[in-house]
Amino acid sequence: MGIRVTSRGMQTTVQDKGRTGFQRYGFSVSGAMDQIAFKLANSLVGNDPDEAVLEMALMGSSFIFTDETVIALTGADCQPLLNGKAIDTYRAYHVEKGDELKTGPMGDGIFSYIAFAGGLDIPKVMSSYSTSTRFNIGGYRGRALEEGDHLNFKHTDISFNQIIGRNISTFLESISSGPDNIRVIPSSEQPALTDVIRESFYSQKYTISSKSDRMGYRLEGKRIEMDEQISVISEGTVWGDIQVPPDGQPIILMADRQTTGGYPVIGTVCSVDRSKLVQCSPGTEIQFTQINVEEAQTLFIKQKNWLKLQQERLNDLAFQSKQSGEVSGVQARNKIDDLIDIVKDSSFTQFSYSDKHIKLDIDHESVRVQSKESTNQPEDQ
């Protein structure tokens, strides 16, 4: 059992990290538009970060649960209501059979994600859960969800009690470049794109067009005038490529992009700005600035490390997890060391932990570990 769709929303699809490995055959990657929000949704409910989730675009769907589970919503704020009561995004909630989840228009972005403890029980097609609506493959019957659809949850061994209430409240700001600034790694060797054209591209603001979709974000701005004589022989595309078609209005290639393209590419959006860009709603004004590959990669790795730290933090804060309930000796010592590291890296000012074996007090000045093993053995006998 799982979840039944009671209202379809705008376009709600099953997505994961994407269908990689088939671009050489002309098959698009697809996958979650906002890869960070998607991974965090999974981590919040104790899943592998690459489990299938639901992606809702612009206008949320509504659901009735036909089974108990734990859910978390991430990405744009879709104003979720659980049985009529407002709930937070980036927090894991327990839901019972018969509960109703309603989501509405997105407030601060355009893509929201819902993860379910254990994931969705959906067959992988070409190694991925992602829905390709262009080719009607993958996800739930190769299409966006409709009213009445029922999706099953996978069986899971996750203990719901250990994940309920998990949340993420701190976000990495140090890698950001301001809300409307998108950083681009310039292309080289494009005869159609002169220095004058490039200068104009970086000096003006562009508006994201309402004709944008999961394939590409179309931009509206001053027309780029190119020499029509210069044609480009088709070549492989990558996420974030900014194509300049003959009408002079750039298109940024997104998750459902075609695998090859024959328009000149002025540059490629850096990976670290992906989530920010995909969450820009139509009408948003953006400005491009240049970044070099090395700097972009340093920031991207920093972002990935932050993501890993969040995942570890979520997993370790459920301290009495499957294994740790009974750990002892060296294993316990490592566990405590891990916990100390996590607390020091996080924004907590103070942390206390106590169980039948140990009492732990951590603050920014000191760490106090007190073993209870020798003193109070009879307590639990």
**Order of strands, edge to edge, in the sheet holding 85-86?**
85-86, 81-82, 100-102, 62-65, 2-7, 150-152
Least distance in angstroms from the C-beta of 16 to other proteins: 16
Residue closer to other proteins by CB (options 122, 269) is 269
- Residue 125 interacts with other proteins (CB under 8 A): yes or no: yes
Long-range contacts of 316-319 (CB under 8 A, 24+ apart): 316/342, 317/166, 317/342, 318/46, 318/162, 318/163, 318/166, 319/353
DSSP output for 334-363? HHHHHHHHHHHHSS-SEEEEE-SSEEEEEE
Residue closer to other proteins by CB (options 92, 272) is 272
- Residue 52 interacts with other proteins (CB under 8 A): yes or no: no
- Residue 35 interacts with other proteins (CB under 8 A): yes or no: no
Least distance in angstroms from the C-beta of 124 to other proteins: 10
Single-letter code of the amino acid located at 20: T
Rounded to 10 degrees, what is the CA torsion of 220, 221, 225, 228?
0
Q: Which of 1, 4, 6, 22 binds other proteins (CB under 8 A)?
A: 22
Q: Which residues of 268-277 are buried (b: 16+ CB within 10 A; e: fewer)?
A: bbbbbbbbbb
- Residue 306 interacts with other proteins (CB under 8 A): yes or no: no
Residue 209 backbone dihedrals phi, psi, to 5 degrees: -80, 155
Least distance in angstroms from the C-beta of 164 to other proteins: 32
Helix extents (H) in the chain: 35-44, 160-163, 195-203, 274-278, 293-317, 329-345
- Residue 86 interacts with other proteins (CB under 8 A): yes or no: no
Q: In whole angstroms, give the CA distance from residue 202 to residue 223.
A: 13
Q: In whole angstroms, give the CA distance from residue 272 to residue 270.
A: 6
Residue closer to other proteins by CB (options 125, 358) is 125
Q: Which residues of 300-309 are buried (b: 16+ CB within 10 A; e: fewer)?
A: beebeebbee
Q: Which of 61, 268, 275, 279 binds other proteins (CB under 8 A)?
A: 268
Q: In whole angstroms, give the CA distance from residue 9 to residue 307.
A: 29
Least distance in angstroms from the C-beta of 276 to other proteins: 15
> Residue 89 CB: number of other CB atoms within 10 A?
25
Q: Which of 101, 151, 270, 286 binds other proteins (CB under 8 A)?
A: 270
- Residue 135 interacts with other proteins (CB under 8 A): yes or no: yes
Q: Which stretch binds other proteins (CB under 8 A): 258-266, 310-318, 328-336, 370-378?
A: 258-266
Residue span 162-201 as binding mask against other proteins, x where in contact by CB under 8 A, dash where not: -----------------------x-xxx------------
- Residue 237 interacts with other proteins (CB under 8 A): yes or no: yes
Q: Which stretch binds other proteins (CB under 8 A): 1-9, 38-46, 85-93, 133-141?
A: 133-141
Of 7, 166, 1, which is closest to residue 100 (Cα–Cα)? Answer: 7
Residue 125 near residue 280, CB atoms below 8 Å: no
Least distance in angstroms from the C-beta of 236 to other proteins: 3
- Residue 137 interacts with other proteins (CB under 8 A): yes or no: yes
Q: In whole angstroms, give the CA distance from residue 110 to residue 98.
A: 28
Least distance in angstroms from the C-beta of 286 to other proteins: 17
Residue closer to other proteins by CB (options 218, 274) is 274
Beta bridge partners of 153: 120
Least distance in angstroms from the C-beta of 232 to other proteins: 9
- Residue 293 interacts with other proteins (CB under 8 A): yes or no: yes
Residue closer to other proteins by CB (options 11, 271) is 271
- Residue 20 interacts with other proteins (CB under 8 A): yes or no: yes
Q: Which of 234, 334, 370, 371 binds other proteins (CB under 8 A)?
A: 234
Residue 126 backbone dihedrals phi, psi, to 5 degrees: 50, 55
What tokens were used for 151?
């999706």
Q: Which stretch binds other proteins (CB under 8 A): 206-214, 229-237, 331-339, 370-378?
A: 229-237
- Residue 21 interacts with other proteins (CB under 8 A): yes or no: yes
- Residue 243 interacts with other proteins (CB under 8 A): yes or no: no
Binding site for other proteins (CB under 8 A): 20-27, 125-126, 135, 137-138, 185, 187-189, 233-241, 258-260, 265, 268-272, 293-294, 296-297, 300-301, 304
